[in-house]
Amino acid sequence: MFVTGVGGQGIVLATDIIAEAALIAGYDVKKTDTLGMAQRGGSVVSHVRIGQRVCSPLIKKGDVDILVAFEKLEAARWCYYLRHGGIAIINNLALPPLSVNMGNERYPSDKEITDILKRQTDRIYFIDATRRARELGNIRTLNMFMLGTASVFVPLEVHAWEDGISQRLSPNIREINITAFRNGRKEMRSVHL
């Protein structure tokens, strides 16, 4: 799995939880993040590999089964990692980079983004995760909602995911995040599949 987005969206925590869930389910797992030099605002990428035995923590280009993007431009930027026919789950959110705000570059249209994605796969799911997280009352649950949508395609049992979440989050935010995860799972099942 390949998770991408913008620094500050909770991507590293999301892949930590995927890795914990895989470990709980008894798999070998490796995960690695490539963060830029600063804390916030840059493009963030996190690789997770689950299997009987995992060697490289980095996934080969064109080898990703599931791409989870927390932002649309980042989905387009990194979708060449996706294998042909792989799954792309994209949060319906545009965060224009500074160069776009300054008028020096142009944010691609939804059609352009979809066209780029379509070169890799037809299994593309646009999700209103930011809106759902806001409806739940905490925008920071965005990552768990996205995780929920992706979990449908990963052969791990629900309890492994939820145990992973419980393990990594402090008790006061555990419940809302598990709810966000379940909502994401439900939304993918009911709306998109």
Partner 1 sequence: MAYLFVNMAKGLFSVFIYVSLTGKLWYDLAKMIKLLSGNEALALGAYHAGVKIATAYPGTPSTEILESLARHDDIYAEWSTNEKVAMEVAMGAAYAGVRSLVSLKQVGLNVASDPFMAASTTGVNAGMVIICADDPGIHSSQNEQDNRHYARLAKVPMLEPSDSQEAYKLMAYAFDISEKFDTPVLVRVTTRISHSKSVVEVNQKRLAPARQANFHYAAKKYVMLPIHARLRHPLIEERLAKLAAYAETFTFNQALWGEHRLGIVTSGVAYQYAREAFPQASFLKLGMTYPLPQNLLLSFAAQVDRVIVIEELDPFLQENIQAMGIKVTGKEFIPAVGELNVDIIEKGGQRTGLLSETSPRHVEDTALNLPKRPPLLCPGCPHTGIFFTLSSIGQRSKPMKSRVKTPKESSLVITGDIGCYTLGTYPPLNAMDTCACMGASIGNALGMEKAGIAKKLVAIIGDSTFMHSGITGLVNAVYTKGQITIIILDNGTTAMTGHQEHPGTGISAQGKKTKAVELEQLVRGIGVSDVKVVDAFNMKQLRNAVKSALESPELSVIIARGACSVRVPTRSEPRAIDTEKCNLCGICLQLGCPAIQREKERVYIDTSMCVGAACTICQQICPRQAIDQQSKIEAAKSL
Strand segments, DSSP code E, in 35-166 are 43-51, 64-69, 82-91, 123-127
Q: Both tokens of residue 36?
A: 């830029």
Pick one of 29, 129, 142, 180: the residue that binds partner 1 (CB under 8 A): 29
With CB under 8 A as the contact rule, which of the stretches 39-47, 142-150, 169-177, 181-189 interacts with partner 1?
39-47
Bridge pairing between strands 82-91 and 123-127: parallel
Residues 40, 9: Cα–Cα separation, whole Å:
9
- Residues between 45 and 84 with contacts to partner 1, criterion CB under 8 A: 54-58, 60-63, 73-74, 76-80, 83-84
Q: Minimum Å distance from CB 45 to partner 1?
A: 11
- Cβ neighbours of 89 (radius 10 Å): 27
Q: Which amino acid is at 165?
A: I
Closer to partner 1 at the Cβ: 71 or 188? 71
Lay out the site mask for partner 1 across 125-144 (x = CB under 8 A, - = otherwise).
--------------x-----
Inter-residue contact 143 to 10 (CB < 8 Å): yes
Chain contacts with partner 1 (rule: CB under 8 A):
6-7, 16, 19-20, 23-24, 28-43, 54-58, 60-63, 73-74, 76-80, 83-84, 96-108, 116, 119-120, 139, 159, 163, 167
